[in-house]
Chain A
Amino acid sequence: MSHGSPFHRTAATRPLSRREFLWQSGGGLGGIALASMLSRDASALLDTVSPPPLAVAPKAKRVVQLFMSGAASHLDLFDFKPDLVKYDGKPSDFGEKVETFQDGLGPWLRPVWNFKPHGACGKMLGETVEELGAHVDDIAFIHNMTSRSGVHSIATMLATTGYQLPGFPGAGCWVSYGLGSLNENLPTFVVLPDHRGMPSNGVKNWDSAFLPNEHSGTVIYPGTANPIDNLHPHAAGRFISESSERDARALLAELNRRHEAPRDDDARLDARIKSYELAARMQLSAPEVLDTAGEPEHVLRLYGLDRNPATWDANINDAEESYVFAQKCLTARRLLERGVRFVQVWSGNDNSHPRRNWDSHEDIRRDHGPLSRGMARGAAALIADLKQRGMLEDTLVLWTTEFGRMPSSQGGKGRDHNPFVFTNWMCGGGVRGGVTYGESDRWGYKPLDRKNPTTMYDIHATMLHLLGLDHTKLTWRQNGADRRLTDVHGHVISPILA
């Protein structure tokens, strides 16, 4: 494990002094360490804020999270409910008072697509996601997920940070903090947003909040003119040339070293000099990572990226959704392969009209169709690609969405929010394949066993467990509490561990 990534903690050439340690750690650590130092009782307190040693033998080294933003329907994709087919169009009756976001409690609505069994396990999948059928024997489906909120922003934050309020680090930040970097030249945690917009809460889903800044998710927009902010000089720097750049670096280093000489017990000065060297290295390595053109033909074909149409239809369509999602999946694989710990891929963040997100209040077929076909194509290709490289066994693929959708119809063709039950799935990285854990009830309205649902805390706990981290011990002291990704909750879902 190295902390030498340019986006990660910059390592001094010699061990950090206490003073340097205090300065660099920023945030909560300084105060604790100071307090304990003054009381001459450092060890106990320091232990509570240092990243803990691995608690268990890790099965996974890295994570790729596919986040369907806007609430993907479990009922039309993964969680088959024969009763909805049988009672399609009949008045819905939940047997209790139901509160939904837009009161979408119309008649029962059957899955919009037909379901078929796949794999040795016979998992039923809706036809738009049947490309994932080839991998169901490697996937663990969790059908009794439940959220604390039916409001997108809150539920999204719960799924990304474990808290209902903004101001907490994303899961990838915790992984970066807990495990550090696997590479020299790339960030530890990369976010590939939907190129059309930000999810609700924006960067609050992946920034480091109170953890040191180097654990923040770095946003990359593959396939665009400026995929990483500030990687190259802005157009305002017309006066910069290749040779000026080379000389500028040398001059900076020279003048900074002279400035540092009489202040050599301040490690920050050296660290800042090093950060410029690392930045230069990253300028060389990042373009290579993002350039997928060099991938062999069979890989491009696997992802459906062998043809790049110049223009897309103005309306939401299968071809575009497949292309843009698969492109992110392939980029994710290249990043993971080069040692990025955590890649978060977002699908569907166009909130204009017609919508290109998963929030299908009006028409499941219209929105979920292209989005789910595109997602299945990209995700299936990613799993196949990781498998053929021997990476699937230590790469956790996590498919999430903030909540599900109601079995009753809204306005005839749409579905309202269902925070009571929804589906997540995991694949690879020490997950037992071909299993379904937890069930929803006969309508897919609530968990079958209402007292024992699965929560995002459990997903996060399981993810950390697979990475070798004990979720109760990965903490950071802030405003009076030892904060965790799992707050004070979370249980590892043992039945889905291989």
Chain B
Amino acid sequence: MSLAAFVLAAASGFVPPVDFEREIAPIFAARCLDCHGPSKQRSGYRLDVASIARTGGELSAPNIIAGDAAASFLIRYVTGADPDMQMPPRGEPLTEGEIALLRRWIDEGASWPESASARVADPLDWWSLKPIVRATPPAKSPNAIDAFIAQRLARDGLPMSDEADARTLCRRVTFDLTGLPPPPEELESFVADTHPAKYERLVDRLLASPRYGERWARHWLDVVHYADTHGYDKDKPRPHAWPYRDYVIRALNDDKPFARFLEEQIAGDALFPATRDGVEALGFLAAGPWDLIGHEEVGEDKIDGKIARHFDRDDMVGNALGTFASVTVQCAQCHDHKFDPVPQRDYYALQAVFAAVDRADKRFDADADIASKRASLTAEIARIQAERAAIEQRTAHACGPDLAAIERELHAAERADTPAEFGFHSEIAAERQGTKWVQVDLGEPRAIASVVLAPCSDGFNGIGDGFGFPRRFRIEMSDDPAFERGVQLVRESTDASLGSPKSAPIAFDAHGGNARYIRVTATELAERKDDYIFALAELQALDASGRNLAAGAAVTSLDSIEMADRWRRTNLTDGIYPGAKHAAARTAELRLAREQLRARLESATDTARRSELDEALPRATSALAALPPQQLVYAATIHTGSGAFVGTGAQGGKPREIRLLARGQVTQPGELVEPAALSLLGPILPADLGLAPDAPESARRAALARWLSDARNPLVWRSIVNRVWHYHFGRGIVDTPNDFGRMGGTPSHPELLDWLAATFRDDMRGSLKSLHRLIVTSAAYRQRSDATNPAAAAIDRGNALLWRANARKLEAEAIRDSVLAASGSLDLSMGGPGFHDFVVEQPEHSPHYRYDRADPDDAATFRRSVYRFIVRSQMQPFMTALDCADPSMRVDRRNQSLSANQALAYLNSGFMLAQSARFAARVERDAGQDPRAQIERAMRLALGRGPDDVERASLERFTQRHGLANTCRVILNLNEFSFVD
């Protein structure tokens, strides 16, 4: 603007508004976008996208408040008004002219024309976020999969390879579907079978076998990071985690529709109430690691306690969205996701979905009949109690304060024999010579005839009566709560034996002295266990008539351990103490008095009804007690606890408040966030879950479950078919099954992926067995793995296009189970608690899981590997050497390593050697003493084929020299045993 124009504008009172494109954008471009632009978004802030510039940022959002430059942090930062934050951090500060322009632009409303940010790519424009489009298979083919695969190969001029021979196919598909080798007899009869549909029949038989669920449950448990211990510090066991593992096996064997499988795992309790599966499936949300110390030793009021609970929800959110939708939401906890359209707010909205639950043992009835009986009895009891309470209330109203007084005294008398409320208990001191005091406030100065002290009784360390009663103490009275002025001494006691072992109350004459406060000061503490305390059950101040002036009086003290209900200050004046005089007789008197009072004042109808109810209640409670015991599953649940780990149960399961945390720091809470799903599907499937403000917490999870299983959710249906494909071929159509975002892979066969997703969702109605059947009967799956095709190898050595089958290295579980199968040791009993292949030492504190101390010949460990008790902090060495899944991570693909420590595990571990010996004994049983027959049998059991002449000669020679056990060890170590063609 020229000077003349400016003068003119000023003179006319009109200043043209700042032009963003021409005046502001260049400032941002020159001075800001290096750190807050397309390549970097420091503090999650960028000045090239209007919406983020206005509302984004982790430290002080919003940084631009349209119409108020003075309040806008952007201005504070560029002017240096904030001593901690000068922007730009390097180089010259902005000129005064530039700052003035920015101020004026904001004050004028910070207008940012659409066209200015049109340059930024649409973050929702990404393959996995678009609706599933069901393509027509490109050619007629008995199996549509082959049409897609062949078409893609043809683009590079490549053919598929020939079908593998019957023996190879049988081994491949049997391992694939059941994780075990085919028994030699079944293999031979399959090879000999001439029926044209023999392969399809084999597939059906395998899918019907319970071994199928065990095999594929293990894949699922990898993804959901299941284990039988918590992990972190102490790594305590979860003895009731296994029902979830069994649920997965059962669901797969029953071919439960996938949508239901999904919904049960997130909100089974809400969507399928009173079903066993609906509860056990919730083990999914609790499957991951849990910080016991951060929950049980640190309360939610402390920073470390908040962090523990933040990460607890984080793990649930990650498991739910990562497993089912292949979205890496956890990247958005400190800032908006850097690559995918997941704003930080979406992440916290998901945390809000899980804000009420904790991980704990959840009680339930596996039997639906019993569950419904329990529900109706519980409801009946509640109804009786409510009706009775209403009558009591009416009567109490009619009886007035007299009844209340009786009730109060009765309550104390009834509990005097075995009180739960022990008394007051000081903090623990290391030295005997300490001073601790406790005092009561009578509300106003009163004339006190005597002070009575009742000692406690506590069996701790075998102490019993007189627990905590000080060896030396004094009793004083004063009107000064600080006991600095006007102190009257009642008693200075130096009799160390006074409190113990008697537990009867001890009276001290106060001579009718007048005072408002009574203080007891311990000057030599009582021994507890290598430490020292001061405890008292009751303090009474009796007036001349014997009435206790201190009943219910306020109590203060130097310190107190305050562990409700047992130890707390208020217990000192609650009338409850060991051996309260004539408790039983007094109880009877009081009950009689209560009945008489009621009889006088209660209405006749109420009296009649009350006696009916009093008969009905014990009937119902004993019927409830007679039901078989409930089952437990470690799951997400509303927890009602004590100490630091209280949960939300006491608040009726009211969800915790979830706030957006700047930089993911619990110390920097921002605005409240309401529960919602992800916004990344845009209009295809809105994030809003349509929850009423007062919806119960389970409605949040139910809504999220329905959002995920919705037929319109393209992520979920693609994710599951891709996972299944991955396990069948060794590689997914998208090779990052947990990540369908911009940091993950893109589909090698996008049309096939969508066709499979749509077919699985619509035609197969989520039947995984139908999907398996379709895949393993395809020609693509049945190709040879050892085919050679130089042209194909030149273009696609990685075989992404599937011009042949992939030879597979068996996973740790398949190896271990195959060893057991070969040796004849395999125990196929299903379900129940996991077997221990370790010895636990020092279980009371931090259990040491000692695999080296276990007996490898313990038959209890010969079950399938899916039933192994999985320890997080001390992973099983043999399985780990063979690349089993790490239960601290959500594993979508196993690593495949080949290392010397793996070779040593195969060669020398107790498991392999004990099984080699058993394998040899079995072969001897089966084949007798002839070495030739022995070798034939051993090879067939382990490899599904007989030896050729060269192998036979070598193995026979070796067997004659070193015995059959050594031969069996060699066979189990062969490459052929661990690889399937």
Q: Interface range on chain A: under 10, 10 to 19, 20 to 34, or 35 or more? A: 35 or more
Cα-based distance from A252 to B877 in the complex (angstroms): 23
Select B954's contact among A26, A203, A251, beta carbons within 8 Å: A251
Which B882-925 residues have C-beta < 8 A from chain A? 883, 886, 888-890, 893-905, 907-910, 913-914, 916-917
**Can you identify 11 A-B contacts, CB atoms within 8 angstroms?**
A6-B901, A7-B899, A165-B315, A210-B895, A218-B901, A239-B917, A239-B962, A240-B969, A272-B975, A275-B902, A479-B738
B846 at the interface (CB under 8 A from A): yes
A200 at the interface (CB under 8 A from B): yes
Contact present for B845 and A352 (CB under 8 Å):
yes
Select B900's contact among A19, A229, A282, beta carbons within 8 Å: A282
B788 at the interface (CB under 8 A from A): yes
Contact present for A26 and B322 (CB under 8 Å):
no
Contact present for A213 and B895 (CB under 8 Å):
yes
Contact present for B908 and A233 (CB under 8 Å):
yes
Besides A26-B897, A234-B914, 8 other CB < 8 A contacts?
A: A23-B896, A34-B735, A198-B848, A201-B233, A204-B872, A252-B973, A255-B970, A411-B430
Contact present for B969 and A248 (CB under 8 Å):
yes
Cα-based distance from A269 to B976 in the complex (angstroms): 9
A93 at the interface (CB under 8 A from B): no
Which B529-553 residues have C-beta < 8 A from chain A? 531
Indicate with 1 or 0, residue by residue over B711-743, a CB within 8 angstroms of chain A CB atoms.
000000000000000000001101110110101
Chain B contributes a number of interface residues (CB within 8 A of A) equal to 116
Cα-based distance from A282 to B735 in the complex (angstroms): 35
Which B211-265 residues have C-beta < 8 A from chain A? 231-235
Contact present for A27 and B431 (CB under 8 Å):
no
Contact present for A265 and B793 (CB under 8 Å):
yes
| Whole-angstrom distance between the Cβ of B692 and the nearest chain A Cβ | 33
Cα-based distance from A187 to B901 in the complex (angstroms): 9
Task: Please choose the segment from A144-152, A305-313, A377-385 that sits at the chain B interface, where 4 or more of its residues have CB less than 8 A away.
Answer: A144-152
Contact present for A234 and B908 (CB under 8 Å):
yes
| Whole-angstrom distance between the Cβ of B318 and the nearest chain A Cβ | 8
Cα-based distance from A152 to B235 in the complex (angstroms): 12
Select B965's contact among A18, A166, A239, A477, beta carbons within 8 Å: A239
Cα-based distance from A169 to B850 in the complex (angstroms): 23
Contact flag A262-B798 (CB < 8 Å), given A212-B895, A243-B962 = no
B289 at the interface (CB under 8 A from A): yes
Which A220-250 residues have C-beta < 8 A from chain B? 226, 229-241, 243-244, 247-248
Contact present for B233 and A152 (CB under 8 Å):
yes
Which 6 A/B pairs are nearest by Cβ-Cβ distance? A6-B900, A480-B328, A202-B873, A31-B735, A200-B233, A237-B913
Cα-based distance from A237 to B918 in the complex (angstroms): 11
Contacts of A164 in B (CB 8 A): 307, 311
Select B889's contact among A210, A244, A251, A411, beta carbons within 8 Å: A210
Which B907-952 residues have C-beta < 8 A from chain A? 907-910, 913-914, 916-917, 950-951
Contact flag A198-B339 (CB < 8 Å), given A34-B798, A149-B304, A164-B307 = no
Contacts of B429 in A (CB 8 A): 411-412
Contact present for B901 and A151 (CB under 8 Å):
no
Contacts of B979 in A (CB 8 A): 268-269
B504 at the interface (CB under 8 A from A): no
Contacts of A273 in B (CB 8 A): 975
Cα-based distance from A164 to B888 in the complex (angstroms): 12
Contact present for A151 and B308 (CB under 8 Å):
yes
Select B877's contact among A9, A230, A265, A271, beta carbons within 8 Å: A230
Contact present for A234 and B910 (CB under 8 Å):
yes
Contacts of B909 in A (CB 8 A): 229-230, 234
B390 at the interface (CB under 8 A from A): no
Contact present for B875 and A207 (CB under 8 Å):
yes
Indicate with 1 or 0, residue by residue over A341-378, a CB within 8 angstroms of chain B CB atoms.
00000000001100000000000000000000000000
Contacts of A210 in B (CB 8 A): 889, 895
Contacts of A272 in B (CB 8 A): 898, 903, 975, 978
Select B293's contact among A151, A232, A240, beta carbons within 8 Å: A151
B162 at the interface (CB under 8 A from A): no
Indicate with 1 or 0, residue by residue over A271-313, a CB within 8 angstroms of chain B CB atoms.
1110110110011000000000000000000000000000000
Contacts of A166 in B (CB 8 A): 231-232, 289, 872, 888-889
User: Please, which residue of chain B has its CB at the minimum distance from the CB of A48?
Assistant: B743
Task: Please choose the segment from B174-182, B193-201, B378-386, B744-752 that sits at the chain A interface, where 4 or more of its residues have CB less than 8 A away.
Answer: B744-752
Select A99's contact among B303, B890, B894, B955, beta carbons within 8 Å: B303
A14 at the interface (CB under 8 A from B): no
B842 at the interface (CB under 8 A from A): yes
Task: Please choose the segment from B1-9, B294-302, B352-360, B414-422 that sits at the chain A interface, where 4 or more of its residues have CB less than 8 A away.
Answer: B294-302
Max count, chain B CB within 10 A of own CB: residue among A31, A39, A276, A482: A31
Contacts of B974 in A (CB 8 A): 252, 255-256, 259
Contact present for B297 and A101 (CB under 8 Å):
yes
Interface of B is mostly: loop
A332 at the interface (CB under 8 A from B): no
Contact present for A279 and B907 (CB under 8 Å):
yes
Cα-based distance from A229 to B881 in the complex (angstroms): 11
Contacts of B314 in A (CB 8 A): 165
Select B743's contact among A10, A37, A480, beta carbons within 8 Å: A480
| Whole-angstrom distance between the Cβ of A95 and the nearest chain B Cβ | 18
Contacts of B331 in A (CB 8 A): 480-481
Contact flag A240-B966 (CB < 8 Å), given A203-B875, A204-B872 = yes
Contact present for B893 and A38 (CB under 8 Å):
no
A35 at the interface (CB under 8 A from B): yes
User: Please, which residue of chain A has its CB at the minimum distance from the CB of B294?
Assistant: A151
Select A411's contact among B328, B428, B963, beta carbons within 8 Å: B428
Contact present for B289 and A481 (CB under 8 Å):
no
B807 at the interface (CB under 8 A from A): yes
Contact present for A237 and B908 (CB under 8 Å):
yes
Which B319-358 residues have C-beta < 8 A from chain A? 322, 328, 330-331, 334, 337-340
Which B826-876 residues have C-beta < 8 A from chain A? 842, 845-846, 848, 852, 856-857, 872-875
A17 at the interface (CB under 8 A from B): yes
A91 at the interface (CB under 8 A from B): no
Contact present for A412 and B430 (CB under 8 Å):
yes
Contacts of B973 in A (CB 8 A): 252, 276
A30 at the interface (CB under 8 A from B): yes
Contact present for A198 and B874 (CB under 8 Å):
yes
B799 at the interface (CB under 8 A from A): yes
Contact present for B298 and A101 (CB under 8 Å):
yes
B126 at the interface (CB under 8 A from A): no
Select A479's contact among B231, B322, B883, B954, beta carbons within 8 Å: B322
A492 at the interface (CB under 8 A from B): no
Contact present for B976 and A259 (CB under 8 Å):
yes
Contacts of A86 in B (CB 8 A): none
A451 at the interface (CB under 8 A from B): yes
Indicate with 1 or 0, residue by residue over B31-46, a CB within 8 angstroms of chain A CB atoms.
0000000000000000
| Whole-angstrom distance between the Cβ of B913 and the nearest chain A Cβ | 4
Contact present for B896 and A268 (CB under 8 Å):
yes
Contact flag A30-B735 (CB < 8 Å), given A154-B307, A252-B970 = yes
Contacts of A101 in B (CB 8 A): 297-298, 304
Select B893's contact among A26, A256, A259, beta carbons within 8 Å: A26
Contacts of A117 in B (CB 8 A): none
Select B899's contact among A6, A232, A259, beta carbons within 8 Å: A6
Which B259-310 residues have C-beta < 8 A from chain A? 289, 291, 293-294, 297-298, 302-304, 307-308
Contact present for A263 and B898 (CB under 8 Å):
no
A254 at the interface (CB under 8 A from B): yes
B797 at the interface (CB under 8 A from A): yes
Contact present for A24 and B291 (CB under 8 Å):
no
Cα-based distance from A395 to B743 in the complex (angstroms): 37
Contacts of B736 in A (CB 8 A): 28, 31-32, 35
Cα-based distance from A196 to B810 in the complex (angstroms): 35
Contacts of A481 in B (CB 8 A): 328, 331, 338, 743
Cα-based distance from A218 to B877 in the complex (angstroms): 11
Which A390-422 residues have C-beta < 8 A from chain B? 411-413, 419
